[in-house]
Amino acid sequence: MKIPFSPPYINQAVISEVTDSLESGWITTGPKVKKLEDLVCEHIGVPNTLCVNSATSGLMLALKWYDIGPGDEVIIPAYTYAATALAVIHVGATPVMVDVNSDFNISVSGIEKAITKKTKAIMPVDIAGWPCDYDEIQALVKSKKSLFIANSDKQHQLNRIITIADAAHAIGAKYKNQYVGKRTSDITVFSFHAVKNITTAEGGAVSLNLPEPFNNQDEYNFLRCFSLNGQTKDAFTKSKAGGWKYDIIYPGMKINMPDVLAAIGVAQLPDYFSHILEKRESIYTYYQDFFKNKGWALTPLYKNNDKQSSCHLYALRIKDATEEQRDAIIENISKDGVAVNVHFKPLPLLSLFKNMGYNMADYPMAYTNFKSEISLPIYPQLTEEELQYIVKTVEKAVESCLC
């Protein structure tokens, strides 16, 4: 049996929506992008959302919106995909890495120790779709207001460190009975990459939940303009009769999402919240039920009184396994036709960040989590037979390598 790791969910509704976009004669940013933005707002409960070409671009846009650049520091977890740090680097700021907890997410006590007068933003990451400790992070931000030094109009308006959530994995996750993005952080960035719970092939969404005195609609308008080279009219508006006149008012970026990709998300998003997420949850709990009685298995968190995972990844850890043993287990699983993965190599293990002076020894929990982690397939197309094959294959591989 051959089981891929994370194929996209493409049904007839998706094909029909994309075909409609192609047949419309309009494939770049236009009505389907706006429809997708509205669907995110409707389902998550946020006032405004801007769709862009990737979550990485969305993070960069959020940082630029808050005028973060050279000389500024942004606190991020050491355990995340490289894009979190690269977004900070691309705006000229310095990523300040913090160790994580055993649940993979950033340590609030670590954040507190890392805050300086140069700190302009905290970017928590909901690894695997498990929400961070948002209330504690927001309380910490408020308690450190006296350290904050504002250097721009927007920074003076907010007058504190901004929280920008890298929720690439977390659309549909819940924090205190509300979806991540609604009152969890100032700005939340979701990913619609091909392997995510909802996809547009490539893409992301920047959801705004800014407090007063900000007007979220006004800031959405600014961000939309900034995502289109700072141009006052998008191509769709310019194409209307007599609508060609435009201006460039900001040194913007070209990071807009095209309609032909948004169409995939327009078809998927309602289905995701109506039944696909529930299917992912059923697979997650199937794994939980199987592995919870295995003495060598450390199962990931799924739900507690405050949080519920989006079930983006099933991050199984093999108790007391070394990195070499974990790799041998993966090799054996792969030989039997099951594609698995590892999420993620902590940033200090990557050459770019090693060469910048980050040391893995400073982030012991990040390494502990990484060295024994194996991500199992979790997507709605999986059948009961395939799930049985996956768990038995994993069990056989682990016990042949450790016993």
Q: Are 169 and 124 in contact (CB under 8 A)?
A: no
Per-residue CA distances from 210 to 120, 155, 216 (Å): 16, 12, 6
With left for phi above 0 and alpha for psi between -120 and 50, is residue 174 left, alpha or beta?
Answer: beta
Q: Are 188 and 215 in contact (CB under 8 A)?
A: no
CA distance 110 to 258: 39
Per-residue CA distances from 310 to 80, 126, 152 (Å): 17, 10, 36
Amino acid found at 179? Y
Question: What's 216-272 look like in SS3?
Answer: HHHHHHHHHHHCECCECCCHHHHCCCCCCCCCECCCCCECECCHHHHHHHHHHHHHH
pLDDT in tens, the chain (403 residues): 999 999 999 999 999 999 999 999 999 999 999 999 999 999 999 999 999 999 999 999 999 999 999 999 999 999 999 999 999 999 999 999 999 999 999 999 999 999 999 999 999 999 999 999 999 999 999 999 999 999 999 999 999 999 999 999 999 999 999 999 999 999 999 999 999 999 999 999 999 999 999 999 999 999 999 999 988 767 556 555 555 677 888 888 999 999 999 999 999 999 999 999 999 999 999 999 999 999 999 999 999 999 999 999 999 999 999 999 999 999 999 999 999 999 999 999 999 999 999 999 999 999 999 999 999 999 999 999 999 999 999 999 999 998 7
- Which among 196, 240, 254, 392 is annotated as catalytic? 196
Look up tokens 């600014």; give the residue: 222
In 36-177, at which residue ranges do the beta strands (DSSP E only) sit? 48-52, 73-77, 94-98, 119-122, 162-166, 174-175
Q: Is 196 a catalytic residue?
A: yes
| Domains along the chain with CATH numbers | 12-263 (3.40.640.10), 277-402 (3.90.1150.10)
What three-state secondary structure class fits 18?
helix
Look up tokens 């928590």; give the residue: 124
pLDDT per residue as tens digits for the range 193-208? 999 999 999 999 999 9
Tokens of 351: 């050459």
DSSP secondary structure letter of residue 186: S
Tokens of 266: 């327009």
What three-state secondary structure class fits 49?
strand
What three-state secondary structure class fits 294?
coil
